Chains A and B, each alone.
Chain A
């Protein structure tokens, strides 16, 4: 524990309470505290450190060491608003200081210029909220650069990349067999392989040590501090300012408002489930694209009967998961994909939506085999005809683990209003709050683009020389990892929840910044854009706070 880290009293009106210490919250806390504001960060999960991380599949995957635990925070799911919601795991997110940024795969793609202006270029899509963003790529570019340099991103520009004001701070990580095969297949097909931008450092950077290529990135915390999570980077810097307190194990139950409709602070349960009210001049909500919406809906009052900041009725709506198109291949020789980072080469030839295809959508491709031994043996990636037990099952395990790879097309999801986060009327969480209800059914175009990428994946694996290639049929998703769109940003208060500075249209001293701010889904790698948005939001929030534009209670 840093001795300079302050401990604020709840009755002290601090400048900002930040809810959620993840990819966005960590950055906003650091940016605001480093210009002198007093910041309390409330994080529902624990404060783990590098010494707490290990490679234990049971602890990390079966016992939810780093993520939400459905036994305490149940979710319900239904495909459409008319269907009955059932209790089932429907979303997953990082639940710890650092958030999902700690266990994420570390893919770090910028959005392209087209992502912000697709409606202008392609026109409206009926039955959807397909729209332009209120900001352009050019406006966000300085913050992409800032994120890359402050956090430590490795990469190399590719032929389809948007313009950048500064090169990557770090060179690409060494190529793996998956990357070499992707490059080989792409060359044969006339596509273009490029180095994958990754939030993992190939050499020491800003006091952190280099990646040791242990292979435990996705789903695990990095004990080397080589993954550039907010836990390893900006959160310690925020604490060093002497103005920022990270308060873990703090489960927020309400953003409180006064009669004038201004946020006065935040009520949360501490570790012992006692209620605490932390006063603040302003609140920045960064709880992720599902929990931020749920908390606003829970924070209803006489003045805000439909939930806080919800005069548009759009809080929780337009949920987007991103879709995916897969194909699997087995090769003659060993790839040993269990070593090193998950992805080293990507393809962006099919990034843009092409009207000639007859449907909306686009994406990027990588090759990987991010399957740990238990997950693999339980059947995740074996050929379909493999028996489930016995001598032939054992033989299949032996022959496939080091030789299998799959092509992963990361694709778009259209913003559909009925796809949403809402409050379940029956189920409660372990704190007695309404459980999260997820309603989700992929738009038909989302399934078509996923199938398109599954087909490209088959071609790619065949061109790379796979001995055997197969693909499972594309199915509708019932589980979300990327949580996007539920408090969308926009200029029109009737059609969006926050303005282009992430300020709630209805509550001037409330800001929302995380995946919920997205207007469209991008191509399956949201973290880089979430973090660029966070840097940009922090800049504007600090500016407004200094000029007295944020009227607090």
Chain B
């Protein structure tokens, strides 16, 4: 049992104050099992192997994703391992988007070579130049798909392979705890203090 399990059990006992201990003894295993099941997904190991992309393709897509949610003073799409999410989506629930990626990657390369004559790969351009290339394709269906996949991968349950270490959730201040207690935020604390 890790510390999170312990704290969750303690919480459950606290949240059930006012209930007779007999009732608690009867129901607790059922309630804990339901909660632990719900919590399990968020704890799963993320994949580290690519199944759809070649290493080269992954580098290119990862570079695009890293412009959509860049790394600055906080981690971005790259650190959140969004590339693993996209790879997994393309081999499971979003299979039909595979051709779009294959074609899109080809067109990305054509565009990049046209705009920057002697460049080898999109991923080896400077960040500013990458942004220029992406601005030129930002209305395309391919870019929109990568954008949406990057965002979903950044914020989805970590069991899907992205949002590594809950990087996406931490960025926005979201917590996936399965219980909270008041005060929830600044203004309800203020409200209750004034009362």
Chain A residues within CB distance 8 Å of chain B: 50-51, 53-58, 62-63, 174-177, 179-181, 183-184, 203-204, 207, 209-210, 212-215, 223-225, 331, 333-340, 373-374, 376-378, 388-391, 393-394, 397-398, 400-402
Contact = CB atoms under 8 A, between A and B. Distances in A.
Contact of B168 (A175, A183, A373, A400): A373
B31 A209 contact: yes
Contact of B185 (A212, A335, A393): A335
A423 to B, nearest CB: 29
A177 B151 contact: no
B55 interface: no
Contacts of B152: 58, 62, 374, 378
B51 to A, nearest CB: 18
A338 B187 contact: no
Contacts of A339: 175, 180, 184-185
B188 interface: yes
Nearest to A389: B68
A37 B185 CA distance: 50
B187 A331 contact: yes
A377 B159 CA distance: 19
Contact of B172 (A57, A213, A373, A378): A373
B93 A214 contact: no
A390 B180 contact: no
A203 B157 contact: no
A212 B179 CA distance: 5
Contact of B148 (A55, A58, A378, A401): A378
Contact of A394 (B12, B171, B188, B190): B171
20 contacts: A58-B157, A174-B182, A175-B182, A175-B188, A176-B185, A177-B185, A213-B180, A214-B179, A214-B180, A223-B35, A331-B187, A337-B185, A374-B151, A389-B138, A391-B70, A391-B72, A393-B69, A397-B172, A400-B172, A402-B172
Given A63-B93, A374-B156, A180 B151 contact: no
Contacts of A374: 151-152, 155-156
A224 B172 contact: no
Contact of A204 (B18, B184, B187): B18
B9 interface: no
Interface in B96-145: 131, 134, 138
Given A54-B41, A213-B181, A378-B148, A333 B186 contact: yes
Contact of A336 (B173, B176, B190): B173
Contacts of A390: 67-68, 70, 131
